Amino acid sequence: MILKDRNILVGVSGSIAAYKACELVRTLRKKGASVRVCMTPSAKEFVGELTFRALTENDVLSDWKDGETGLEHIFWARWADSFVIAPASANTIAKIRFGLADNFLTSVALAYDRPIVIAPAMNTKMYENPSTVENIGILKERGHILVDPSEGELACGEEGSGRLADVEDIETAILYSILPKPLKGKKVLVTAGGTREFLDPIRYISNASSGKMGYALAKISYALGGDVLLISAPTCLKKPYGVKTVDVVSAEDMYREVMNHLDDMDIVIMNAAVADFKPESYSRKKLKKAEEKPVINLEPNPDILLEIGKRKRDDQIVIGFAAESEKLIENAKDKLKRKNLDIIVANLLEVFSKEKHKGVIIFSDGRITEIPPMDKEESAYFILNKLFTKDS
C-alpha cells in the first residue's frame, strides 16, 4: 500500500466539517498510514479528542500541557511525512498566511518546512471574502497544496462553494505531497473505461471494464507530478482529483479526442477498453420488439492504438494494455510489435472489473517485469514507478 507506514499528521480546526476529519483519519489508517491528530482549541467544541485518540490509537494534542517536553510542535512537525489541515477554518488559514503561532496546530504549521495540504471548509461568504481569497492565493503561491472545497448545500442552509473536499480528493493531495515527482513537466494522457456503441437511443454494446485501473493510473500520474488529461468512457467512478477529464461515449468519440490531444503529450497510457466493432446502423427511434430474431451487423471501429503507434514521435512514450484469455506473453508481445508501442501491460481477463490487478510489463527491448497481485492503485504506482523512477 502506497501509504503504508507513512506518518500523516492531521490538523483539525474549528469548522462544522470537523466531523469529516474522522472519516479522513479512518481512510488513512485503512491504507496503512500511521496517523496523529492535532486540534485547535475551538475544534474541540466540534469533535472530542477522545474520538481521534481512538481512531488513530495515538495521542492527540491541542495544547502543550498534554505533551511531555513542550517541544511537541517541533517533534510532531519533524515526524510527519505529510501534514494535512482538514478542515481548515478561515481563521486558521489567515493565521498560517501571517505566520501566527498562537496555538499548538498553528505552531506545528510554522515549524513544518514542506508544503502543507490545506482543505478549507466554510460558509460561501467567508470563502469568497477578499481576505480569505487573498490568504488562500498567497498560501498557494508559497507552494502549499490547497484542496478546493466543493459546491453544494452547506450546513448553514446556503448553497455555494465551501464544502470540505471529499476524503478521496484530500487523500490524493496527501499522496501528491509525499511522492517524488518524476513526471514533473510531463503531459500525460490516460484513457479509461469501456466505450458504448449505441444501437438506438437507449441500447448499446459495451464491455465489463470498470475504468478502475485507468482512473488509478490517472490519479497516481498526477501524484507523481504529471499534468494529466483523462479521456474517459462511461464509468461509475468519481473523477480523480487534480486531473483534467474529457468524457466520451463511443470508440469514435474517443478516437477523435485522443487524436486531438496526441501531439501535445509526452506519455500516452491507453487503458480504455475500446470496442473493436460498432453496429452498422443506428436507429434514432427505440427499436421495436420484432417477431423474428433480430440480426445486428457490425463494422470495425477505428483502431486507436494502431493509429497512435503510426503517428507517435520518438520522444513520446506510448503504453498499451492487453487483456488476454490465454497465451498472455505471446499475444501481448505480438500486440506490442504490431502497434509500435514502447511498453505493454498485460493481464489475464480474470482482473477485469475486479479490485485487484496482476500481470506483466513487457518493454519493447524484450525485458519483462512481473506485477504481483495488488489493488489497482498500488499496481498503477508499481507500473509508473518501474517506468519513470531511476531506482526501478
- Name the binding residues for CTP: 276, 286, 302-305, 321, 335, 339
Of the pair 71, 155, the CB lying nearest ligand FMN is at: 155
Of the pair 66, 355, the CB lying nearest ligand FMN is at: 66
Q: Taking the mean position of all CA atoms in its chain, how far away is CA 318? A: 21
Tell me how far, at minimum, the Cβ of 21 lies from ligand FMN, in Å.
Answer: 12
Interface residues with ligand FMN (CB under 6 A) are 13-17, 40, 42-43, 89-92, 121-122, 126
Beta-carbon contacts of 71 under 8 Å, excluding residues fewer than 6 positions away, are: none
Of the pair 158, 350, the CB lying nearest ligand FMN is at: 158
Q: Are 29 and 37 in contact (CB under 8 A)?
A: no
**Positions at the binding site:** 276, 286, 302-305, 321, 335, 339
Tell me how far, at minimum, the Cβ of 318 lies from ligand FMN, in Å.
Answer: 46
Q: Which three cell numbers stand for residue 42?
A: 475551538
Tell me how far, at minimum, the Cβ of 268 lies from ligand FMN, in Å.
Answer: 42
Of the pair 57, 151, the CB lying nearest ligand FMN is at: 151
H helices of the chain, in order, are: 20-30, 49-56, 72-79, 90-98, 104-111, 124-128, 130-141, 167-178, 212-223, 251-262, 304-311, 328-338, 376-388
Other Cβ atoms less than 10 A from the Cβ of 300: the count is 10
Which amino acid makes up residue 190? V
Closest residue to ligand FMN using C-beta atoms: 14
Q: Taking the mean position of all CA atoms in its chain, how far away is CA 145? A: 15
Tell me how far, at minimum, the Cβ of 42 lies from ligand FMN, in Å.
Answer: 4
Look up 156 and say whether it is catalytic.
Answer: yes
Tell me how far, at minimum, the Cβ of 113 lies from ligand FMN, in Å.
Answer: 22
Of the pair 17, 223, the CB lying nearest ligand FMN is at: 17
Rounded to whole angstroms, what are the CA distances from 192 to 219, 296, 356?
A: 12, 26, 16
Which residue among 22, 38, 156, 236 is the active-site one?
156
In angstroms, rounded to a whole number, what is the distance separating the alpha carbons of residues 9 and 370?
Answer: 34
Q: Which sequence positions are flagged as catalytic?
A: 156
